[in-house]
Amino acid sequence: MHIQDYWLILAFFVLVLVPAPFLGRYIFRVMEGHKTLLSPVLLPIERFCYRLAGVDSQAEQDWKGYSTALLMFTLACLIGLFAILMLQGRLGLNPEHIAGMDWPLALNTAVSFVTNTNWQAYSGEASLSYFSQMLGLGVQNFVSPAVGLAVLVVFCRGIARRSSNSIGNFWVDMTRGVLYVLLPFCLLLALFLVWQGVPQSFMAYVHAKTLLGADQSIPLGPAASQIAIKQLGTNGGGFFGVNSAHPFENPTAWSNLVEMASIILIPAALLFTFGHYVKDLRQSRALLASMLILFVAGFAVTLYAELQPNPALAALPIEQSGAFEGKESRLGIAASALWAVATTAASNGSVNAMHDSFSALGGMIPMLNMMLGEVIFGGVGAGLYGMLLFVLITVFLAGLMIGRTPEYLGKKLEAREVRLLVMTLLVMPVGVLVFGALGVSLPGPAMSISNPGAHGFSQVLYAYTSGTANNGSAFAGFGANTPYHDVMIALAMLLGRFGFILPILAIAGSLAAKKSAPQDGNSFPTHGPLFVTLLTMVILLVGGLTFLPALALGPIAEHLTLLQGF
């Protein structure tokens, strides 16, 4: 570790944690229609949008109406994006004359971007026109985090409201999320990235001759705008194939730091948005504490693992300073490890190093982060609503131990809520384990695995974990673009997205309709060190125990094999 690595780590936490409370309050005010700094500029645009779409911004929906609107919207996005990707050859803004995608890849990609996963079974510079990038993926990069934000806000309202049938208006929440939260910050970040050297251009690729006389095609494109929302919206889909390891996506140490911080920025801020909704910022701090514990612990393990020399090479006369395979030497080990942990903790999925090449344990943490359901900060909205599900499970498990019907912030958890909770509990095991088991058992799909033994198993496990958790990062060696994996991972992504969203909207509807019991010494304390410890344990027990056997056969076995020298 170099001194600048320590500075980088410190700067990262400062950049995330200092603005979070302010941004969180701003998002709360935006989503509840209060006046904010940007209102004078954006309010007329917001009203114009409603007029254009014929939306009555005052009319609220119940959870069923909200869900229907959300599903219809997603379906429309899915069909639209699928069509763009199939037809991109004829849609213009295509200087490289890239042809349309095959249907399995188009389907996989459409689902991937609509569900905020950004799993990429293709390479951007080779497979996508500028039209697809901007009007296809770029649009989804904005609306898919907005959907996550909307669902979270509904969950917050569910807890905060009393005896209410309505939980908000989907169209209003979407408009505000995009207009006030995502667009302004992306504009700033994109400008910063352009300054740092990220291209923002419609020019065709530059063709050059290298010093050795080889032909080289240097891809360009409207990258800066895409990368800004890719990071801020926890999307992660790279403009170029190697994502943020590419010098055009991530040219400098500054761009690396700021891109990394912007992965976590909005998810961290949303903790405070939640606190404002329930009028108790202690709750925000407790959840933040639990997330930080898991984040820092994961980062420590990955960093330590990556700094170790490879034991298999220990006998050889080589000087090793850590696991450098698959990492950008200009970024270094610490920055790669921090990015890997941040991007898998949040459901971002962008990479600045190849996770496939990480040491066994170093690569296990990103996988575990995703297996826990992307609740350590997590995706925009999605991370916190996933975390709140764990909170509800914790409250239900331990709440009985104070001799009362389990209650979270005054709302009783009864059979209906628990049934819905249990449905969400099944999503990750089914998506990861069942789909993964199919992937390794069927002879055709198993061909995609490029490594033998435990690491090969990790590849499949990682792919389906990433899909179900809506993360999008990959163990690079895995040959994901086969019709089988395209379709199955698309299914996993849909399961991972709507397997959470629909039960959560139902829970929110059910909670909103309940009365709220007063909070006093009689009620279950959901702040303070005791609860933070308990919550963290439950996340590890309920989320982690499920995957221990699979991890044992993957990274753990790989690690132990490596230690024992085969």
Binding stretches for other proteins (CB under 8 A):
162, 393, 396-406, 410, 413-415, 417-419, 421-423, 425-426, 429-430, 433-434, 436-438, 440-441, 446, 453-454, 457, 515-518, 520-525, 528, 530, 534, 537, 541-542, 545-550, 552-553, 556-557, 560-561, 563-564
The nearer residue to other proteins, 217 or 405, going by C-beta atoms, is 405
The nearer residue to other proteins, 315 or 415, going by C-beta atoms, is 415
CB 418 within 8 A of CB 357: no
At its nearest, how many Å lie between other proteins and the CB of residue 46? 35
At its nearest, how many Å lie between other proteins and the CB of residue 408? 13
Cα(108)–Cα(95) distance, rounded to whole angstroms? Answer: 24
The nearer residue to other proteins, 165 or 522, going by C-beta atoms, is 522
The nearer residue to other proteins, 154 or 535, going by C-beta atoms, is 535
At its nearest, how many Å lie between other proteins and the CB of residue 176? 30
252 burial (CB, 10 Å; 0-12 / 13-18 / 19+) is: middle
At its nearest, how many Å lie between other proteins and the CB of residue 162? 7
The nearer residue to other proteins, 350 or 546, going by C-beta atoms, is 546
At its nearest, how many Å lie between other proteins and the CB of residue 349? 24
At its nearest, how many Å lie between other proteins and the CB of residue 435? 9
The nearer residue to other proteins, 179 or 556, going by C-beta atoms, is 556
At its nearest, how many Å lie between other proteins and the CB of residue 290? 15
- For residue 548 the two structure tokens come to 């221990």
Q: Using CA atoms of 137, 429, 147, 164 in order, give the dihedral in degrees to the nearest 10.
A: 170
Dihedrals phi, psi of 327, to nearest 5 degrees: -110, 150
Q: What one-character-per-residue DSSP string does 251-284 give?
A: -SHHHHHHHHHHHHHHHHHHHHHHHHHTT-HHHH
The nearer residue to other proteins, 47 or 404, going by C-beta atoms, is 404
Cα(264)–Cα(283) distance, rounded to whole angstroms? Answer: 19
Cα(446)–Cα(440) distance, rounded to whole angstroms? Answer: 5
Describe the crossing of helices 139-160 and 253-277 by its angle, rounded to 10 degrees. Answer: 30
Say which DSSP state 411 is in: E
At its nearest, how many Å lie between other proteins and the CB of residue 152? 23
Q: Name the residue among 356, 242, 358, 263 with its Cα closest to residue 303.
A: 358
The nearer residue to other proteins, 213 or 529, going by C-beta atoms, is 529
The nearer residue to other proteins, 99 or 552, going by C-beta atoms, is 552
- CB-based contacts of 35: which residues, under 8 Å, 6+ apart? 29
The nearer residue to other proteins, 84 or 432, going by C-beta atoms, is 432
- For residue 23 the two structure tokens come to 């941004």
Cα(438)–Cα(418) distance, rounded to whole angstroms? Answer: 29
At its nearest, how many Å lie between other proteins and the CB of residue 125? 34
At its nearest, how many Å lie between other proteins and the CB of residue 275? 20
326 burial (CB, 10 Å; 0-12 / 13-18 / 19+) is: middle
At its nearest, how many Å lie between other proteins and the CB of residue 540? 9
Q: What one-character-per-residue DSSP string does 192-254 give?
A: HHHHHT--B--PPPEEEE-TTS-EEEE--SBHHHHHHHHHHTT----SSTTGGGSTTTS-SHH
Distances (CA, A) of 208 to 95, 205, 211, 217, 243: 17, 10, 10, 6, 22
Cα(47)–Cα(494) distance, rounded to whole angstroms? Answer: 32
Q: What one-character-per-residue DSSP string does 61-78 give?
A: B-HHHHHHHHHHHHHHHH
The nearer residue to other proteins, 322 or 456, going by C-beta atoms, is 456
